[in-house]
Chains A and B, each alone.
Chain A
Amino acid sequence: MNLDLRLDTSGDFYAQKFQPTKREDTLILNMGPQHPSTHGVLRIILEIDGEYIVRAQPVLGYIHRMHEKMAEVMSYPQYLPNPARTDYLHALAWGWAHVGAVERLMGLEVPERAEFIRVITCELNRINSHLLWWGAYLLDLGAFTPIMYAFDDREIIMDIMQRVTGSRLTYCYYRFGGVSGDIDDRFVSETREQCARMKERFKMYKALVTENFILRKRVEEIGEISVDTCRRYGATGPVLRGSGQEYDVRRAEPYSVYDRFDFNIPAYNDCDAMGRYLVRMDEMQESIKIIEQALDALPEGDFIHPKAPKRAKPPAGDVYFAVEGARGKIGMHLVSDGGKSAYRLKLRAPGFSNLSLFGEVSQGTLISDAVSILGSLDLVIPEIDR
């Protein structure tokens, strides 16, 4: 029994571990796991002095579902729907990482048409993910309306995707050696229409939201993350690009047919929340550019390799495959012993690294700013907890 009176024995394990504080005029505040702006079951223990944050520590694991263990138990095809459940907002990128790792280990060729379909759907999904982030971030900042506009756009993309993939959020569309179904003319024409529509919408979003005075005051010079900090924590994706580093897996380690498209990697040197905001806004427009190029150059052919095995059984060995997700670098390290299920599958979740730097960055900021920083990291908790 702990008789040290300085220790508050109320609270759970994490609260107690966090306890012994050097100062006596501070308050320990539990933010989450049920808090409107932690977007899920993230919990952050804060030590606050007034409204200023002295220390912050994220507590994880509330939605840990053992996706890595499941990969060791389930056979490869059985595991196909799982990656989509980790990051439900950019489900296709996770599916791609899994499928890509298995294909690379098996040495399985993917038909060109399938690669193009993958690029188009994955980029559509990326736009969807960024749109949701955009709406939710502004919700964190107290603006309720933008999320409704974002969902307006998302709805159309989800309808388009639903026809070809069969689902609206947690897609299970990619197969070893291709995709599960071909796209048709209607998909192509609807996607083109939506691309044209989105270009107009981005202009409206810029005028209505990005240039809003109050918003700029809430995101500019808030949460400055240096490139050095990003490197130390392994942050990738828009967080890293918002710090001025032009690192994108699609360019750095080209996979699939991304090397054939002409697109920019937006990066902003301000290192603040506005930088990360602008990176995502620009990325959506770059995604549209990629989709339009892919639709123009869409080749004919098979949508799945004709000799793709029904039961994938990669040879013994290990392989690493990374894709660029909406939140950063999604990596899958697959170790196989030649059996029907993986010996070990390591999922690298970008959100985990991005969240890790929160404790350092949020020091000395106000609670309102911490909410703004947390939102600008674009966290999806199921992905972090896996």
Chain B
Amino acid sequence: MIEAIPIQLVIMLVGLAATMAFVGLNAIVLVYLERKVAGFIHRRPGPYEVGPHGILQPFADGLKLVGKQIFTPKGADSFLYWLAPMISMAPAVVCFLVIPFGPHLQIINTNVGLVLILAFTGVNVLALCIAGWTSQNKYSLLGAARGVSQSVAYEIPLLLSVLPIIFLTGTFNLFDIATNQGSWPWQWFVVTQPLAFIIFFICALAETNRAPFDLPEAESELTAGFHTEYSGMGFALFFLSEYAYMVIAACVGAILFLGGFKGPIVDGWWWFLAKVYILLLIMIWIRWTFPRVRFDQLLNICWKWLIPLAILNLLITLLVIAL
């Protein structure tokens, strides 16, 4: 006889399955969205052939990637080489467990939700580093080196930009942070903390390796950077995790600064999804508009501008709280 399965475990497993589905679904929507928005910006139709208005294009892309030969470069450490895409993908799924999608739609309500997300998103750099190191490719190595120094630089202002919100609400719990804000846009933290929001957004772009900070995979300089050698599903996992991290960044941004699931009239997941997708659209818009910054410029922006500004913002916030 099997003992009664603890309810916690059931919730956890169902939640994991649900988040994985959510990640996959989001990737499909985002791939399509990105290509369509890029098409709109370029004044061309974008994908149009597979299905009506090309809506089946992401599935065709996925099928193609699944069908590709799995290829390990000569001289590469194949265990670590194939571990890297998994390390990249796995933490992304965990992060979604603590995100409150709606008033009653959160898998785990924990006191350290924000810390958990910040910690797990940092693991992505490890994957990037392993991928670049084991690929036996000089471009990959350069991409990995860029990725590591970029993330070391950008973790600091990211944390500093989140701290004022923690001080204002006094909690790491994402649900409580969301409910601390009102329903109307002027009651959100983006109004009281605009500078923190801008710093957070820039750092989120850098953290997720999105243009104009996509230096680890700068295709015109390093061919494809750290994932140059990956084919088939190895590449697909990196691709998927990039979109997953984008969604996480947008979720955290929406919760911390835009009131999460709170919105005019009726609170709910619809407000949350709308805010997340607005942030994602801005990310896509930025990608197709700006040239890429240079590597030392990126570090300069971080050390000379973002960190001092974030500290200043934090000090002012503390001063206001103290008064």
Query: What is A's interface to B at a CB cutoff of 8 Å?
Result: 27, 29, 35-37, 50-51, 138-145, 148-149, 152, 212, 214-215, 217-218, 366-369, 371
- Provide the bound-state CA to CA distance between A371 and B219, in Å: 11
Most buried by B among A37, A141, A218, A369: A141
**CB < 8 Å neighbour of A214 from B41, B142, B293:** B293
The reply to whether B297 and A37 form a contact with Cβ atoms under 8 Å apart is no
| Chain B neighbourhood of A36, CB < 8 A | 219-220, 223
The reply to whether A143 and B290 form a contact with Cβ atoms under 8 Å apart is yes
| Chain A neighbourhood of B221, CB < 8 A | 37, 367-368, 371
CB distance from A82 to the nearest CB of B (A): 32
| Chain B neighbourhood of A367, CB < 8 A | 142, 221-222
Known A212-B291, A214-B212, A369-B294: A148·B219 in contact at CB below 8 Å: no
Known A141-B220, A145-B288: A368·B294 in contact at CB below 8 Å: yes
Show 13 A/B contacts (Cβ-Cβ < 8 Å), sorted by A.
A37-B220, A51-B142, A141-B292, A142-B214, A148-B42, A212-B290, A214-B293, A217-B294, A218-B292, A366-B294, A367-B142, A368-B218, A371-B220
Q: Quick one: which of B163-208 are within 8 Å of A by CB?
A: none
The reply to whether A138 and B291 form a contact with Cβ atoms under 8 Å apart is yes
CB distance from B321 to the nearest CB of A (A): 35
- Provide the bound-state CA to CA distance between A36 and B297, in Å: 22
Most buried by B among A140, A145, A215, A371: A145
B53 within 8 A of A: no
**CB < 8 Å neighbour of A218 from B44, B142, B145, B294:** B294
**CB < 8 Å neighbour of A27 from B43, B138, B288, B295:** B138
| Chain B neighbourhood of A149, CB < 8 A | 42-43
The 4 closest A-B pairs by CB, nearest first: A142-B292, A148-B42, A143-B291, A141-B291
Known A142-B212, A148-B42: A366·B138 in contact at CB below 8 Å: no
**CB < 8 Å neighbour of A145 from B42, B222, B294, B297:** B42
* Nearest neighbor of B139 in chain A, beta-carbon distance: A29
Contacts A144-B288, A214-B292, A218-B292 aside, 17 further interface pairs with beta carbons under 8 A come to: A37-B220, A37-B221, A51-B146, A141-B291, A141-B292, A142-B211, A142-B214, A142-B290, A142-B292, A148-B43, A149-B43, A214-B290, A215-B291, A366-B296, A367-B221, A367-B222, A371-B220
CB distance from A385 to the nearest CB of B (A): 22
| Chain B neighbourhood of A141, CB < 8 A | 220, 291-292
- Provide the bound-state CA to CA distance between A134 and B41, in Å: 18
| Chain B neighbourhood of A369, CB < 8 A | 294
- Provide the bound-state CA to CA distance between A218 and B219, in Å: 16
CB distance from A211 to the nearest CB of B (A): 12
| Chain A neighbourhood of B218, CB < 8 A | 142, 368
Known A37-B221, A152-B43: A29·B212 in contact at CB below 8 Å: no
| Chain A neighbourhood of B291, CB < 8 A | 138, 141-143, 212, 214-215, 218
The reply to whether A368 and B42 form a contact with Cβ atoms under 8 Å apart is no
User: 0/1 per residue, B43-75, Cβ < 8 Å to A?
Assistant: 110000000000000000000000000000000
- Provide the bound-state CA to CA distance between A29 and B294, in Å: 19
CB distance from A129 to the nearest CB of B (A): 20
* Nearest neighbor of A146 in chain B, beta-carbon distance: B291
* Nearest neighbor of A136 in chain B, beta-carbon distance: B220
The reply to whether A217 and B289 form a contact with Cβ atoms under 8 Å apart is no
- Provide the bound-state CA to CA distance between A142 and B212, in Å: 8
| Chain B neighbourhood of A217, CB < 8 A | 293-294, 297
- Provide the bound-state CA to CA distance between A367 and B218, in Å: 11
- Provide the bound-state CA to CA distance between A321 and B178, in Å: 75
The reply to whether A366 and B295 form a contact with Cβ atoms under 8 Å apart is yes
| Chain B neighbourhood of A142, CB < 8 A | 211-212, 214, 218, 220, 290-292
The reply to whether B223 and A35 form a contact with Cβ atoms under 8 Å apart is yes
| Chain B neighbourhood of A138, CB < 8 A | 291
* Nearest neighbor of A370 in chain B, beta-carbon distance: B221
CB distance from B40 to the nearest CB of A (A): 11
* Nearest neighbor of B213 in chain A, beta-carbon distance: A142
The reply to whether B212 and A148 form a contact with Cβ atoms under 8 Å apart is no
| Chain B neighbourhood of A145, CB < 8 A | 41-42, 288-289
Q: Quick one: which of B261-298 are within 8 Å of A by CB?
A: 288-297
CB distance from A217 to the nearest CB of B (A): 6
CB distance from A100 to the nearest CB of B (A): 37
Q: Quick one: which of B137-168 are within 8 Å of A by CB?
A: 138-139, 142, 145-146
- Provide the bound-state CA to CA distance between A330 and B289, in Å: 36
- Provide the bound-state CA to CA distance between A27 and B137, in Å: 12
Q: Quick one: which of B93-150 are within 8 Å of A by CB?
A: 138-139, 142, 145-146
* Nearest neighbor of B218 in chain A, beta-carbon distance: A142
* Nearest neighbor of A367 in chain B, beta-carbon distance: B221
CB distance from B281 to the nearest CB of A (A): 16
CB distance from A204 to the nearest CB of B (A): 12
- Provide the bound-state CA to CA distance between A200 and B268, in Å: 47
| Chain B neighbourhood of A143, CB < 8 A | 289-292
- Provide the bound-state CA to CA distance between A50 and B148, in Å: 14
Most buried by A among B142, B212, B289, B290: B290
| Chain A neighbourhood of B142, CB < 8 A | 51, 367
- Provide the bound-state CA to CA distance between A41 and B139, in Å: 18
- Provide the bound-state CA to CA distance between A367 and B139, in Å: 11
The reply to whether A140 and B220 form a contact with Cβ atoms under 8 Å apart is yes
- Provide the bound-state CA to CA distance between A367 and B221, in Å: 7
| Chain A neighbourhood of B297, CB < 8 A | 217
Most buried by B among A50, A148, A152, A369: A148
- Provide the bound-state CA to CA distance between A143 and B211, in Å: 9
CB distance from A137 to the nearest CB of B (A): 10
CB distance from B149 to the nearest CB of A (A): 10
User: 0/1 per residue, B208-243, Cβ < 8 Å to A?
Assistant: 000110100011111100000000000000000000
- Provide the bound-state CA to CA distance between A305 and B263, in Å: 78
| Chain A neighbourhood of B294, CB < 8 A | 217-218, 366, 368-369
CB distance from A336 to the nearest CB of B (A): 45
| Chain B neighbourhood of A148, CB < 8 A | 42-44
